[in-house]
A and B are shown apart, each in its own frame.
Chain A
């Protein structure tokens, strides 16, 4: 397996993404390194091959967006919308991630070793997200499917208008969103958290997490509720 290396200080990003999209299959390169990302937007977006891309430094907006099959590792922080709408594969941010991490992701695993910003996992549609640190406000808003594991704290309105996604949190929740509620951890929940922590390479007691899921009272229109739920 050969490794191809790109230096974004001297190579236009478009060349890197074109290589990842078009030449990869023909050349059978399965390991790509990107140096000096320097906060550029849209690095390694729209990948659909089982390649490993290592980004050495801080990535800008939408890194590894729409990812399918690929493993993208950011050795630094990621800007807004990392792994947005991911379909499958793995995205691992070794530093912190900005707002909207993993938004609308359908599948795959997003791991953030540090903190995630606001709206992490907003409208999650089936992916798993493990955050080693804390998440900002409005995380898991309207999350439909998938799991979020938060190893530290959450800001305001966690899991607001949650559908069938489940959130596990170890630390403190500043406030729960409308219709989100704490529920007892079952053996299945503990096994789920243990498995996701193992995949993320994090050492925590899975039984120390709390489960948050939808109370489902927003599922049906209630004219008598006077817009208060």
Chain B
């Protein structure tokens, strides 16, 4: 079991409240996923060639005491890259104006245990072990702002309970995916993807789905074509919720083995595994509430 939540606000004025509206959604899914939680939030893109990485220091020896300023100093010293850093406990968003590949290569060489959570112009990603309430507090989720976000509460079945195996998973830039369910062919997918030079961070089944879909997008598929390919290739049970800079997308397996419910008003589209997580939303009593059909693609634009 796991819980998924997603929220997209339609009115710019509501972007300030995105985190506040979402935290009860995430906590509402604690019964479905008490061991880890995470979310990816999409906000205003960085300008020009600006890129940012979400980084997690919980797996390093220093943990939450990781010396982030030493890291930015090292980047300046070794690569001549100027960067900004925003630190929250064992998490930081590092932004800079060079190719992210150069920075990531340097990070892997100099800070191999630092986990790179996400890369892009718009995405910030947080995930850690602990209950959804603990993780929300740890990173002050209620203060998050942006146009849309994708969240997850985990009850691990297919791989160990560790921060890097929590959801969302990302691949490439500004793409993330959360999953409720389990895949039966993740290793087959890996064997297909690895010859294309695609590297995996964990043994998690969801990571295989995430990297497969991102690979299709990178090969030129639009989101709908990529999801269609997903139906062909991914075997197992899934409700997937995906985020891109301007879209939320949802698909369910043909047997609808894992739940999803949507509430839509003039102000927002909210998605959750169960209505319990939507019940607190403003004016939800007058929302259009429906269950997404299996094997259909639902795409909402930010």
Interface of A toward B, CB cutoff 8 Å: 36, 38-40, 57-58, 60-61, 77, 79-80, 95-96, 98-99, 117-118, 136-138
Chain B residues, Cβ within 8 Å of A57:
279, 285
Of all A-B residue pairs in the complex, the 5 with the closest CB atoms, nearest first, are A39-B275, A38-B279, A39-B276, A58-B275, A118-B256
10 A-B Cβ contacts within 8 A? A36-B279, A39-B275, A39-B277, A39-B279, A80-B259, A95-B289, A96-B291, A136-B256, A137-B294, A138-B255
Chain A residues closer than 8 Å to B274, beta-carbon distance: 39, 60-61, 79
* B279:A136 contact, CB within 8 angstroms: no
How far is it, in angstroms, between the C-alpha of A138 and the C-alpha of B294 when the chains are bound? 12
**Which residues in B have their C-beta under 8 angstroms from that of A98?**
259, 261, 291
Task: Determine if B290 is an interface residue (Cβ-Cβ < 8 Å).
Answer: yes
Interface mask (B246-276 → A, CB under 8 Å = 1, otherwise 0) = 0000000011100101000000000000111
Report yes or no: A39 in contact with B255, Cβ–Cβ below 8 A: no
B2 interface residue per 8 A CB criterion: no
**Is A38 a contact of B294 with CB atoms below 8 Å?**
no
* B290 A79 Cβ-Cβ under 8 A: no
Q: Are B291's CB and A38's CB within 8 A?
A: no
Output the least CB separation between A133 and chain B (Å): 11
Chain B residues, CB < 8 A from A61: 274
Report whether B275 and A38 are in contact in the complex, using a CB–CB cutoff of 8 Å.
Answer: yes
- B279 CB contacts on chain A under 8 angstroms: 36, 38-39, 57-58
| In the complex, residue of chain A having the shortest beta-carbon distance to the beta carbon of B285 | A57
Known pairs A80-B259, A118-B255; A60 contacts B294 (CB<8 A): no
Q: Say yes or no: B259 contacts A58, CB within 8 Å.
A: no
Number of A-B residue pairs at CB separation under 8 A: 49
Q: B37 an interface residue at 8 Å Cβ cutoff? A: no
A117 touches B291 (CB 8 A): yes
CA distance A40 to B275 in the complex (A): 8
Q: Say whether A58 contacts B289, CB under 8 Å.
A: yes
Number of interface residues of B (CB under 8 A): 18
Bound together, the chains give a CA A137 to CA B259 distance in angstroms of 15
Residues of B contacting A136 with CB < 8 Å? 256, 293-294
User: What residues on B are CB-neighbors of A58 within 8 Å?
Assistant: 275, 279, 289
B278 interface residue (CB < 8 Å to A)? yes
A100 CB to closest chain B CB, in angstroms?
A: 10
- Nearest CB of chain B from residue A8's CB, rounded to whole Å: 10
Smallest Cβ-Cβ distance to A95: which chain B residue:
B289
List, in ascending order, chain B residues with CB within 8 A of A60's CB. 274-276
CB pair A77 B256 closer than 8 Å? no
- Provide the B228-258 mask, 1 if CB < 8 A to any CB of A, else 0: 0000000000000000000000000011100
Q: Give Cα A80–Cα B254 distance, bound, in whole angstroms.
A: 16
Residue-wise interface mask of B (290-302) relative to A, using a CB-CB cutoff of 8 A (1 in contact, 0 not): 1101100000000
Q: A172 CB to closest chain B CB, in angstroms?
A: 15
What's the nearest-Cβ distance from chain B to residue A56, in Å? 10
Residues of the A chain whose Cβ atoms lie less than 8 Å from the Cβ of B294:
118, 136-137
Q: Which residues of A contact B259 (CB under 8 A)?
A: 79-80, 98-99
A77 near B276 (CB under 8 angstroms)?
no
B residues 184-217 in Cβ contact with A at 8 Å: none
Which of chain B's residues has its CB closest to A39's CB?
A: B275
Residues of the B chain whose Cβ atoms lie less than 8 Å from the Cβ of A79: 259, 274-275
Q: How far is the CA of A81 from the CA of B293 in the complex (A)?
A: 17
- Name the CB-closest residue of A to B260: A98
User: Please, how many angstroms separate the alpha-carbon atoms of A57 and B285 in the complex?
Assistant: 8
Question: Which A residue's beta carbon lies closest to that of B295?
Answer: A137
Interface mask (B58-70 → A, CB under 8 Å = 1, otherwise 0): 0000000000000
Which of B255, B275, B289, B290 has the most CB atoms of chain A within a 10 A radius of its CB?
B275
Task: Give the residues in chain B near A38, CB-CB below 8 Å.
Answer: 275-276, 279-280
What's the Cα separation between A30 and B122 when bound, in Å? 57
* Chain A residues positioned under 8 Å from B290 (CB to CB): 96
Chain A residues closer than 8 Å to B293, beta-carbon distance: 136
Taking CB atoms, residues of chain A closer than 8 Å to B256 are 99, 117-118, 136-137
Chain A minimum-CB-distance residue to B263: A58
The smallest C-beta distance from A50 to any residue of chain B, in angstroms, reads: 29
